[in-house]
C-alpha cells in the first residue's frame, strides 16, 4: 500500500525509532496459548524506551471489560509523563484475577532492567482473553530484551506485537514546528475485532517534538476520532485497545502550549501517522482481500456524514458484495437508508471507483443502469472507493473497511489453536 499524504509532511524510515532518542527491541520469550506447544519463532515481547522522560498521552477501549494493562497504564500516565513501553502478544492478560498483579510485574521487570521508575512504564498486552499470563517467560527474557535495545530496533518490536496480522504496519514522518525539523513514527497491530470507538489495536507513537501534556492529549483525542474510530472489520470492539504517544522534546522546538499554527502542524503530522495506520489496518482485516474507503459528502454536518459512511462499511451484506465483486447498488442504498441520521434519500447519489475507473451506481435515491463489465473491472482492484453524496451540505467524512471472506470465519473458528 502507498502512504497517503495530507499537508506538509515528508515520509521517512524508522517507525517508532525515527524520532531522536528512542530505542526499541523485540524478542521471543516463549509465550504460548494454554495447552498449546510453542510452534513459532515469532517475537512475542517488545520494549520501547526513550533516553529521557517524555510527555505522554493515551486513549483506550470503550469496552466495559478492560484488560489489566489498561488499568495499570492509566495510573502510570495520569501525571502526563512516561518513558518506556513494555508489550506482549499471545496473551491479552484480561479477565484474570491476577491480571493487575501480572501487569504491574511487567512494569517492575522493565523498570529494573532499564533503571527507571516503575510508574514511568506503559504496559500493554494482546492475544487470547481469559488465560492466565505466565510471568516467568517475560522475566527470563527481560535481560535479552533490554540489552538488545537499539535505535533501529523498530522492526523487531513491531513483529512482537502482531497476532493475526499478515503485514507489518509502521510509518514515520518529518514535519516542521517553529522552524525546527521534528520527527514522528508509529507502529500498530490490528487485524480482527476491529470496530469504531477504538478499533481493535495496540498503537504506539513516538515523536521528538516538544508539546505540553494537555495539548498532546488534545491532539490524540481529536485525531483518533477521525482515524482509528473510522475503521471497522467485523463489528467487534476489543478489551485491550490502546493508543499511546510519547513526546521527548529532543527536536528543540519551542514547547507547543497553545492551539496555534504549531499545534495545527503537530496535529497534521499525527493525522498522517494515524490515518495511514488506519488504512493499513483495514486492508489487513482478517481474511480480507480488499480495502474499502467510503467517502460521504454533501451532508448537513460532519457527524451525519460519519454515521452514513460507517453504516456502509459495517454492513455485512455490503462487505460480502465487495468480496464477490458484485456491484449490487441496492445493498449500498440499504446501508445508507438505515443509518441513524437525518437526510433525504431522494438526494443520495452513489459512485464506485478504483484505479480501474469510476461509474455511477445510483442517482437521487435510485439505482441507475451501468455496465456490469465496467463495474466488475473496477471491483477487481485491491482498493475500492465508495462515494456517497447526501445533497449540497458542507459536511463530509471518510471511513475505512474491508470485504468479508470465507477466511475470516476460518481464522476465528480456531483462534486459540
Residues identified as active-site: 200
Measured in whole angstroms, the distance separating CA 274 from the mean position of its chain's CA atoms is 7
Q: Residues with Cβ < 8 Å from 383, sequence gap 6 or more?
A: 1, 283, 290, 291, 293, 354, 355
Report the C-alpha gap between 103 and 260 in whole angstroms: 38
CB 77 within 8 A of CB 245: no
* Contacts made by residues 324-331, CB under 8 angstroms, sequence distance 24+: 325/376, 325/379, 325/380, 326/379, 327/352, 327/359, 327/361, 327/370, 327/372, 327/375, 327/376, 327/378, 327/379, 329/361, 329/362, 329/367, 329/368, 330/367
Spell out where 167-239 has E strands: 170-177, 180-189, 202-207
Give the 3-state secondary structure of 314-347. Answer: CCHHHHHHHHHCCCCHHHHHHHHHCCCCCCCHHH
CB 397 within 8 A of CB 227: no
Nearest residue to 185 (alpha-carbon basis) of 201, 168, 205, 199: 205
The residue with cell 476489543 is 238
Report the C-alpha gap between 46 and 48 in whole angstroms: 7
Report the C-alpha gap between 15 and 22 in whole angstroms: 10
Q: Residues with Cβ < 8 Å from 158, sequence gap 6 or more?
A: 15, 16, 26, 46, 168, 169, 170, 187, 189
Hey, what's the cell of 273? 501517522
CB 111 within 8 A of CB 86: no
Hey, what's the cell of 258? 497553545
In sequence order, what are the beta bridge partners of 11? 173
For β-strands 242-247 and 291-299, DSSP reports them as: unpaired
Query: What's the maximum distance between 2 C-alpha atoms anywhere in the chain?
Result: 68
Amino acid at each position: 500500500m502507498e502512504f497517503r499524504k495530507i499537508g506538509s509532511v515528508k515520509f521517512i524510515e524508522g517507525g517508532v525509532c525515527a524520532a531522536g532518542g528512542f530505542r526499541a527491541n523485540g524478542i521471543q520469550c516463549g509465550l504460548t496459548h494454554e495447552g498449546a506447544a510453542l510452534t513459532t519463532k515469532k517475537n512475542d515481547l517488545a520494549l520501547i524506551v526513550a533516553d529521557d522522560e517524555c510527555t505522554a498521552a493515551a486513549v483506550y477501549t470503550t469496552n466495559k471489560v478492560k484488560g489489566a494493562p489498561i488499568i495499570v497504564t492509566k495510573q502510570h500516565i495520569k501525571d502526563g509523563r512516561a518513558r518506556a513501553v513494555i508489550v506482549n502478544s499471545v496473551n491479552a492478560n484480561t479477565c484474570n484475577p491476577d491480571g493487575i498483579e501480572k501487569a504491574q510485574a511487567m512494569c517492575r521487570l522493565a523498570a529494573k532492567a532499564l533503571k527507571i521508575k516503575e510508574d514511568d512504564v506503559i504496559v500493554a498486552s494482546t492475544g487470547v482473553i481469559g488465560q492466565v499470563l505466565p510471568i516467568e517467560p517475560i522475566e527470563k527474557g527481560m535481560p535479552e530484551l533490554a540489552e538488545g535495545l537499539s535505535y533501529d530496533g523498530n522492526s523487531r518490536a513491531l513483529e512482537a506485537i502482531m497476532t493475526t496480522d499478515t503485514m507489518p504496519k509502521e510509518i514515520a514522518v518529518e514535519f516542521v514546528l517553529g522552524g525546527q525539523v521534528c520527527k514522528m513514527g508509529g507502529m500498530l497491530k490490528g487485524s480482527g475485532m476491529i470496530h469504531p470507538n477504538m478499533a481493535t489495536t495496540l498503537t504506539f507513537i513516538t515523536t521528538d517534538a516538544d508539546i505540553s501534556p494537555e495539548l498532546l492529549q488534545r491532539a490524540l483525542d481529536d485525531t483518533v476520532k477521525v482515524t482509528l474510530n473510522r475503521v471497522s472489520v467485523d463489528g467487534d470492539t476489543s478489551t485491550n485497545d490502546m493508543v499511546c504517544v510519547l513526546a521527548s522534546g529532543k527536536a528543540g522546538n519551542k514547547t507547543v502550549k497553545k492551539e496555534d499554527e504549531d499545534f495545527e502542524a503537530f496535529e497534521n503530522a499525527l493525522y498522517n501517522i494515524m490515518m495511514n495506520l488506519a488504512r493499513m489496518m483495514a486492508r489487513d482485516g482478517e481474511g480480507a482481500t480488499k480495502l474499502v474507503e467510503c467517502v460521504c459528502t454533501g451532508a448537513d454536518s460532519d457527524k451525519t456524514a460519519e454515521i452514513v459512511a460507517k453504516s456502509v462499511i459495517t454492513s455485512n451484506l455490503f462487505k460480502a458484495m465487495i468480496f464477490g465483486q458484485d456491484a449490487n447498488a441496492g445493498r449500498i442504498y440499504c446501508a445508507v437508508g438505515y443509518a441513524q441520521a437525518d437526510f433525504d434519500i431522494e438526494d443520495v447519489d452513489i459512485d464506485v471507483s478504483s484505479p480501474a475507473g469510476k461509474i455511477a451506481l445510483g442517482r437521487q435515491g435510485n439505482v441507475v443502469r451501468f455496465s456490469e463489465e465496467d463495474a466488475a473491472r473496477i471491483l477487481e482492484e485491491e482498493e475500492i472507493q465508495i462515494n456517497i453524496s447526501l445533497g449540497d451540505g458542507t459536511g463530509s467524512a471518510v471511513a475505512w473497511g474491508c470485504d468479508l471472506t470465507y477466511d475470516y470465519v476460518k481464522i476465528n473458528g480456531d483462534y486459540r489453536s
